[in-house]
Chain A
Amino acid sequence: MAIAAELDEPFAQADRSQTTKIVLARVLIYGALIIWAIVCLFPIYWTITTAFKSAIDVTHGHLVPWFDYVPNWKGWRSIGLSPDTIFEISTPRHEFISRFENSVFAAIGSSLLALVLGSCAAYGLSRFTYKFGPMKNDDILFFFISQLILPPVVLALPFLVLYKELALLDTRIGLIFVYTLTVLPIVIWIMRDQFNTIPVELDEAALVDGLSIWGVFFRIILPITLPGMVAAFILSLVLTWNEYFFAALLTATDAKTLPVMVASQTGSQGINWWSMAALSAAAIAPLVIVGIFLERYIVKGLSTGAVK
């Protein structure tokens, strides 16, 4: 304060305009942040609230529960998940749960398989030198990662034909294979980066201590890279849980996943908004929860490899 008083008049003025500038900048920054946060969150808010609306609330555009409409369980009742129907037998719920199970199996199964295959390959490529004909380490790595550019549409129809012959159409194991393929490049990319950050001296010390190379991998290296593996696993989970294209083509009744069920419901005309909203809310809920609590891992998974 004392120093400010000693300052010359023009100086103080400059100082004041500086402060207003800073305040203005703050307002703009927070304004932009809040607007984008609303853009991100409003659709979810809308879906969840609509799941508790009746027709009249939808047509009148009511938005705030208890304030301009009274929430009810209609939407959840239609898929058998409301408090009064949850213990009764309900075909929609039965279908929902079986689709949900398929999604869980396909997503977790393929993410695990990709993690096992990918971690081993990534560790090998990060530690040893291979030579397969003209292909060296970098070429082998490129061979794996370049699979990322394969669009689902290129593989979808060949897979349809092959799976038909292999009797894998409409099976969970068939889906797991395809999904593993789609996330394997990402897992290898992330995990190789993780292994590269661990000094080779650690491996050498463990080898000297008498471990075999697989012993080193399992007992020394894997525990260190566990956070990286979790990141790769969760990222795979996100991508495979939401996958629609392959599931729509390769499954029919038994192995149908949640996205296919949601899509088939949207397709039908005159579907009730509340039941659709309840279904969508239930379908996105697991990953929204994952996103809220495991954000750290997703960020880690995405940013390793891309940022050196």
Chain B
Amino acid sequence: MTASASIAAIDEPEFDDPDVSGSRGRAAGGKALIWATSVLFAGVLIVQILYAAGAIEFGFANWRPVLYAYALWGIGLGVGQVMARGEAGLRALFVLPATLFTLAVAIFPTLFGFYIASLDWNLAATGGPHFNNFNNFVQMFHDSYYWNALVNMVFYVAMVLVEYAIAFGLALLLNAEIRARKFFRVAFLIPFMLSPVAVSWMIGKSLMEYRFGPLARLARDLGWQTPAFFAYPWTARFTIEALDAWMWIPFMVILLLAGLQAMSKEVLEAAKVDGATPWQAFWKVTFPLMLPVSITTLLIRIIFKLKLADIVITVTGGGPGGATDTISSFIYRVYADRSNVGYGTALAMFYLVLIILFLTLLLRVAKRFTRNVI
């Protein structure tokens, strides 16, 4: 303890020691580098904006140089930090690349999206973008298909609870004393590995095919004479949900199984000694202890459920009559049909706001739940 402390004490001056004037010069150089690259980036950006606006004659053919300038600015910022701030700069270098990347690829496009959302911008038309007084949002409130898709999302998200129940059951089974556990674990994982698009064909379009699909045959044998899985709104909705559940239950099983395995065996043993039936042991011991893991699992699952799009687009295209539409698939269709970026983005941005509100609320509730348990 004292040894390390004394080493640190010796270390301390060593950092600043190698002639003070040199490190000061390096610091000034670092600041200069940051300034120079910032000016370069700003310069390229302004030139290109002016050129795009038609104010000046010279500029670049596309915006790619702005991207390069941004990358250069990022490098300048990193190197400059290290030169100007030494050790602290080296530390900052760990988070700097990821931050700059996220700013450029997530934050900027999102903000840009809010801007596009206020425009009437048809990519197919030659007119280009023009501001339309937030008409997109007015139009959105009258778009019954959009609200219908939102209601569908409520259904899909609610069904996460059913998926959770099934996944919990499967996790308990896998956690029991069984043979060939490895085989079952791999088998249960496989659906998670498959591409939703391939699954749409494999299950949605061939296993469930009305005439020859094995599932349709099975349904006929079980007494459903017209096994048209995607013909009626509710059957279609449930079938899409089943497909999505099939792919995502493995994910929940893995998380819950990990939780079960991390649980201490003694508590369950104690419950058994006290004469609890398995049913009681589950509800009084396992389930409450699993609540934190369960909530994390449910939250992540809901986040991914809110992105549901691929199978809807490829299997039903939102049909029949929008019955299976999710927000994402609906916007995809809006864009594919009308190539109106402005309106589609407006819908997406409104959805983003709803998601953030919903998840914030959910996190609050989840926190209260976990606090009560522990």
* Alpha-carbon distance A262/B201, docked complex (angstroms): 8
* Alpha-carbon distance A217/B95, docked complex (angstroms): 13
Whether B4 contacts A204 by the Cβ 8 Å rule is yes
Assuming the contacts A37-B184, A153-B348, A157-B335, asked whether A167 and B193 have C-beta atoms less than 8 A apart, the reply is no
Assuming the contacts A147-B106, A302-B255, asked whether A242 and B195 have C-beta atoms less than 8 A apart, the reply is yes
Whether A37 contacts B341 by the Cβ 8 Å rule is no
Partner of A120, one of B98, B262, B345: B98
* Alpha-carbon distance A117/B101, docked complex (angstroms): 8
Assuming the contacts A158-B113, A306-B255, A307-B258, asked whether A242 and B98 have C-beta atoms less than 8 A apart, the reply is no
Interface: A7 (CB within 8 A): no
**What is the distance, in angstroms, from A286's C-beta to the closest C-beta of chain B?**
9
Which of A71-79, A80-88, A275-283 faces chain B?
Answer: A275-283
Contacts of B201 in A (CB 8 A): 262, 266, 276, 280
* Alpha-carbon distance A165/B65, docked complex (angstroms): 11
Assuming the contacts A59-B212, A123-B94, A124-B95, asked whether A307 and B193 have C-beta atoms less than 8 A apart, the reply is no
Contact with A along B338-374 (1 / 0, CB 8 A): 0001001100110110011001000000000000000
Whether A291 contacts B328 by the Cβ 8 Å rule is no
Whether A287 contacts B328 by the Cβ 8 Å rule is no
Contacts of A144 in B (CB 8 A): 98, 102
Question: Which A residue's beta carbon lies closest to that of B329?
Answer: A153
Which of A9-17, A43-51, A90-98, A222-230 faces chain B?
Answer: A43-51
Residue total for A at the interface (Cβ-Cβ under 8 A): 96
Interface: B118 (CB within 8 A): no
Whether A155 contacts B64 by the Cβ 8 Å rule is no
Interface: B55 (CB within 8 A): no
Contact with A along B92-126 (1 / 0, CB 8 A): 11110111011001100110110010000101000
Classify the interface of chain B: helix, strand, loop or mixed: helix
**What is the distance, in angstroms, from A188's C-beta to the closest C-beta of chain B?**
7
Contacts of B310 in A (CB 8 A): 244-245, 259
Which of B22-30, B35-43, B203-211, B266-274 faces chain A?
Answer: B203-211
Q: Which of A259-295 contact B (CB under 8 A)?
A: 259-260, 262-263, 266-267, 273, 276-277, 280, 283-284, 287-288, 290-292, 295
* Alpha-carbon distance A156/B313, docked complex (angstroms): 15
Whether B113 contacts A40 by the Cβ 8 Å rule is no
Q: Which of A138-189 contact B (CB under 8 A)?
A: 140, 143-144, 147-162, 165-168, 177-178, 180-181, 184, 188
Some 24 contacts from A to B, beta carbons below 8 A apart, are A40-B250, A44-B194, A46-B206, A47-B202, A59-B212, A116-B97, A144-B98, A150-B106, A154-B348, A155-B110, A158-B113, A181-B102, A188-B98, A204-B4, A238-B192, A245-B313, A262-B195, A277-B202, A284-B194, A287-B194, A291-B186, A303-B257, A303-B258, A307-B258
